Chains A and B, each alone.
Chain A
């Protein structure tokens, strides 16, 4: 395998993994606040259609991406209202959000079918992009990719090094005592859900503006579910999300290469490799139980109503 091919493969892997990474990061923050939002797929597809629509209207992919973020955020508010204010069951509400998102996006996007989208341009960073092998895949990318990397670092810093991050985690770990300390559980959770919506919206916009610049119904094709699994895989730690997303992407691309090289292995077995690999790695890293437990938000999925 020569250098050029390695670069190209890495580029493919990073592109395939970026929407997973973004959506998983958003969900990670949401879950750290103790809210389990299974509506990632629905928020992503809303981001995809909104990203496409705003890019078509303005002719500008960046405005499209912003549109995706805004719509993803607004859409997540409907979940927040139900699951936080009305303390409905989070699992069911999230699934209903997905159904709603698939329907609304289909209606919204009807007139965009068959149109070529606006592709977000590549930003080449001078010098760095000339490093062999990793230069091009890392430093000749689109803006959303750079944002995704910045988010990994930013969220790590936020969660573990800032006071606000500490507050967020304490709400997720024990909403009762957080409330007793005078923290507004509701406010923190609203913000966390909205951040999750924004990230999922951006992930969707990546699909319709970078990965495959077009709009078709159901184009997320289950990526929201994978993102949910990645949060668990990462045991709620941002650095592990990036590892998980790239591992999942890499195994998926590797199996295509194995096929194209003509190895005689059933394609179904190859297609199942990313899923099996994720399970195996999870089992290996879960053996350090103490570490996993520390990071699992203890109040995850439980609604909170203060006693008055």
Chain B
């Protein structure tokens, strides 16, 4: 009798377990998928995620602190200084080398280089992995304006100084002329000084 009981039990078990399984898969079938359509929508990325860098170029002073901190020397930068303003040439990061260690971020005195949240970075050519972080080349319009302003100010100051000196020299000359012909070269000396 046990054989027959076993036989019946097998049938009942098969049907029952299949139905249980179908209930579970059916539940999943009706629920909303948990995946997202990647390039169109993205899952939120944690704030402290270490992705591709971004640079606040306005703040950067070209001090090379980050480049020196980099353990694999993948940061290179170049800028021409005009007084206090910078004319940017390049600020490259070689992502073939970069290991996203974040060591470049801490030494920055101006807090201008950051790790971003962008992680998808593909290319058909290796050379494209040398990424330029600059958002503009040369000088920004504001920096240029500031530079021109500063130059103007400097010029004005110099002119004022020169005018003052000239005035002083003229005064001296007048005084010496008034004294007589004792010091004939005094006017030119004052002008040069």
Mutual binders A and B: no
Binding site for A on B (CB under 8 A): none
Binding site for B on A (CB under 8 A): none
